[in-house]
Structure 1
C-alpha cells in the first residue's frame, strides 16, 4: 500500500485516506501528521480554511473522513524553538550573581509555548541577563524554578546559575515544610467563606476533556496530586447581617504548588475569584446586583483577581533569608476600592 503522506509543493502536504481511515477530520489529520502539530492546532488550521478537498476549503473539524478523500493541508512555516532575547521592561526587586527577583505584571507569559513563542518573561530575561541564566530548565525555561499564570501578578525569583537553580528547586519542592520558603497570595473572591480561616485539602489533576483546566480529583485517582491551600479572610465587602458578603479579600498560602491551585480550590469551596472566566464564569451575573458605577469596574476587570504579594526563600549562596513583598497592582487596588464603596 502506498504511503498516504506526500509532500506537496511549498508548505502544503497531501494526505489521502485509505480503506482503514475513519473518524472526524481533525483527529485523522492529527494522527497522520504525528507529533509535528497538536490536535488543537490542526483544528484551528481547519477552521482557518487551510485544509482543502478537491480544491475547496473544508472548515468543519468534525467532518467524517471517507476512503479516497485526498486532503491538502497548508502548514505554517516552522518557528524557532530557541527563545531569543527581547527588550521587555522588567520590574526588578533584587539582583545579584545568583538570583534575580522580579514583580511580574499581568499579561506576561512566563515561558514560551504554543501560541506564545515570543514576548515572554524568558525572552525578557535572556535579553537582560545575556548568557548567565541557569540552563537546567532547558532552552525554553532557562532559570525558571516556579511560575505564575499569565494574568497573575506578583513576586518571582529566577536562578542565574545551575547551583542556584538546584538550591531553589529544592526549596520549592519542599513547599516550606522543612525549609524557609514561603509564598502568599491575595485574591478577591465572590462571597465570603463560611469560616474566616481554613484549609482546602483537595487533590488536583487534569480536567476530563480539557487539558488546559484542572479539577478536584478523588484521592485514589491515578492522576491525583496532593494540593493544600490555607486561606484567611482579610476584608469583607458589602457584608450583610446574616454574615454573608458580596465579595471578600482573601490571603492564601500554599502548602503545595499545583497549576491553578488557588483558583480551583477557592471555586471548589464555592468562592471563585472575581474575573476568573475559567473557574468562576457562573458567578459573573452577581455583579448585576451592584450600583452601576461599581458594576462597570467589576465587569471590566479582565483577569482573575490574584496577586502573589509575598515570597520568602533562602539565598542559595549566602544562606540569608530573602523576604519580598509587593503591594496590590493598580487594577486590583481599583477593584478593591470600588467594592469598598
Structure 2
C-alpha cells in the first residue's frame, strides 16, 4: 500500500479555531493539532471550550442550520497536545474506530530521571478506581492489557525525552506506566510529583499513521515536538 503524505491547502490562521491547527481536511475526516489545556469533548462542567465544539462550528462555517458535523473518533487528555482525528460521517467514524488498534501512534514525552534501559517495552493490566485513577493489577481477567514501547532520545541530569509507541489505547496508559516505573511524566499532577516551575504536562501526540476510510491510502500526520519540551531538558 502506498504511503501518502497528505497535501491540502490549510485555511488562514484567522479561520482556524482557537487552540487548533488544521493539519488535514477532506469530506471524510478532519485532523488537527490540539494545544494542551483544551478538552477533546465536553464534560459536565465544560461544554463549549472543547475541540469538538470549536470544530463543529468550524465545519458549519458559523451557520447553525448547516447539516455539516463531525464525529469523535478518539480522545486526547485535556493536558496532552498533538494529533487528534475527527470523522465527518458515520461510515468514516466506524471505519476509523474499528481499525484504530492497527494504526501507528507515536508520542513524545519528558519524564523524570534517567531510564536504565534506553529502549524497551512496558506491559501491564490497568484498571480504574472510584476516583477515576488508573493503576496496574496482576489479574489479566480484571485489568485491560496495555503495551507501550519507548526509546530515549535525549537526557539531562534530571529528565529524559522519550519517543513512545502506543500499541494499545488504555486511559492514561503512558502516564500510569511510566509513573509506576518511577519515571512519571513531567508536569503530571495526577500520577507524578509536584513539579515546581513546570508549566504543562510534557506529553504530546507527535504522529499518527492511518489508513484513509475510503481511499484506503496510508496517510501520515506529524507535528513538531513542543519547543517547551526541549527547554525542560536544558535545565
TM-score calculated relative to the size of structure 2: 0.85
Query: Residue 41 of structure 2 aligns with which residue?
Result: 111
Instruction: Structure 2: state its 5+ residue gaps.
Output: 1-15, 61-66
For CA contacts below 8 A with separation 6 or more, give which structure has more relative contact order.
2
- Contact 1:192–1:247, Cα closer than 8 Å, also in 2: yes
The reply to whether residue 182 of structure 1 matches residue 104 of structure 2 is yes
Query: Residue 194 of structure 1 aligns with which residue?
Result: 116
For the aligned residue pairs, the C-alpha RMSD in angstroms reads 1.6
Give the number of equivalent residue pairs.
Answer: 213
- Contact 1:273–1:304, Cα closer than 8 Å, also in 2: yes
Alignment map for 1:177-256 (pairs within 5 Å)? 181-207=103-129, 209-211=130-132, 213-220=133-140, 222=142, 224-238=143-157, 246-256=158-168
3-state SS, counterpart of residue 183 of structure 1: strand
- Contact 2:125–2:140, Cα closer than 8 Å, also in 1: no
- Contact 1:301–1:331, Cα closer than 8 Å, also in 2: no
Between Structure 1 and Structure 2, the one with more strand by share is 2
Q: What is the deviation of 1:125? A: 1.3
Per-residue CA deviations over 1:267-292 (Å, capped at 9, x if unaligned) read 1111001111111126x4xxxxxxxx
- Contact 1:132–1:161, Cα closer than 8 Å, also in 2: no
- Contact 1:183–1:253, Cα closer than 8 Å, also in 2: yes
The reply to whether residue 132 of structure 1 matches residue 51 of structure 2 is no
Which of 288, 311, 315 is the aligned partner of 2:208? 311
The reply to whether residue 146 of structure 1 matches residue 111 of structure 2 is no
TM-score calculated relative to the size of structure 1: 0.60
Q: What is the deviation of 1:88? A: 3.5
3-state SS, counterpart of residue 193 of structure 1: coil
Which of 188, 199, 206 is the aligned partner of 1:276? 188
Between Structure 1 and Structure 2, the one with more helix by share is 1
Instruction: Structure 1: state its 5+ residue gaps.
Output: 1-86, 135-142, 239-245, 285-298
CA distance in 2, matches of 1:114, 1:334: 35
Query: Residue 88 of structure 1 aligns with which residue?
Result: 17
Which of 194, 198, 201 is the aligned partner of 1:301? 198
Larger Rg: 1
CA distance in 1, matches of 2:52, 2:77: 14
